[in-house]
Amino acid sequence: MSSPNRRSGGASQPPLLVLTELFLPTKGGTAVWFDEVYRRIGGKEIHVVTADVPGAAEHDRTHPNSVHRIRLTRHWWLRPESLGMYAKLFARSLALHRRHHFAAIHAGRVLPEGLVGLAVARLAGIPLVIYAHGEEITGWRTPGKHRAKVFAFRHADRIIANSGFTRGALLELGVDTARIHMIHPGVDVERFRPALPNQDLRATLGMSATQHLVLSVGRLSRRKGFDNTIRALTLLRAAGMDVHYAVIGIGPDRQYLQDIARECAVADRFHLVGHVPADDLPRWYCAADVFAMPNRQIGGDNEGFGMVFVEAGACGRPVVAGRDGGTADAVVDGVTGFRVDGTSTEAIADALRRLLTEPELAQSMGKRGRARAESDFSWHSVATKTRALWDAPQAADLDRKSQASL
């Protein structure tokens, strides 16, 4: 991480426990979110219990928070398979609380962290905050998981919803509206910025300066809409446009996407880039003319927000998003980009065509995306909102006492 540590308040704070399986150097937007926020709102008084992953020791060596790593693995012979994770999280959390006497617990997800956090919080008599991301609400449908997540959400003192879509899904579960606080994920506006050098990146794709580049970033999964973007590429080429399409990320759909590109006869213009170094990611956004992730709902699996849209906007790039899920909070339709029907190849192609052939429109949307990233989505702003929940433990404690005890 290239940005300096910045705390959003100067006063010393009581200890806080953060439970999250996802934390840098683990890949993904959620891991970035928690690392960026908690390093800004406090120092060693914030204790993060998280998974031990490759590269963790080097990452933690200079981290401002106290990071505790444990092996979090699932075993097929256990029922549930994550039972060992629950036990390890609970044991470490309780031991740390006995030593540090935390003022509150923040859980990165409802399961397993939220359920474990709830048990520790009630034993310790302290408030619990659970993050809600959206896809776990609409996508985790097995009876056991569903009952557990509903129970944890309904008994948390505060819930941080990442979007209006997620807030609505929580209300449908019967969560008290007064306990829900909407805090969007953010972006490092100093690292993600316009006009970064990028010609070397375009050259790795065999592109000239006059060719167009559409970029996607995300896990290679069906709901992201990368398959329909490939199909849209065929329509753009049929219209005589010289366009390449690059996707940064890994996931189960790699072969599926390659097969579609071959079937559509655009394999020479489709590039699966895989992982890229952290310092190169902002440059890739700047290398593109348009960012696209026309997400759609598949079997309840949905996009809860879409941090990548905010990152692209911070780099001054217009975006194309799907209408499903929580993208309305990340993309202002017609202002910072277009939100389209992610199931319609024609709608995706039309939005891309407009942004690639109307440079003034694309530039104005990119500028608005940058301005919105600076005003609404900087990590400093996100940290300030998150710290406000930590700074009001007495209010959260009153909420907790009003709930039925376990």
Q: What is the pLDDT of residues 199-245, one digit of tens each?
A: 999 999 999 989 999 999 999 999 999 999 999 999 999 999 999 99
Give bridge partners of residue 300 from the DSSP assignment.
Answer: none
What whole-number percentage of the chain has pLDDT above 90?
83
The CATH architecture one would assign to domain 199-376 is: 3-Layer(aba) Sandwich (3.40)
Give residue for tokens 């776990």: 136
Instruction: Report the alpha-carbon distance of residue 261 to residue 291 in Å, rounded.
Output: 19
Average pLDDT score, the chain: 91
- Report the topology of domain 16-186+378-402: Rossmann fold (3.40.50)
248 pLDDT tier (thresholds 50, 70, 90): very high
Where are the domains positioned within the chain? Answer: 16-186+378-402, 199-376
Same topology between domain 16-186+378-402 and domain 199-376: yes
pLDDT of residue 84: 78
144 pLDDT tier (thresholds 50, 70, 90): confident
Instruction: Report the alpha-carbon distance of residue 208 to residue 267 in Å, rounded.
Output: 17
CB neighbours of residue 292 within 10 Å? 34
Looking at per-residue pLDDT, the higher value among 278 and 76 belongs to 278
pLDDT, tens digit (0-9, with 9 covering 90-100), for 281-309: 999 999 999 999 999 999 888 999 999 99
pLDDT of residue 12: 64
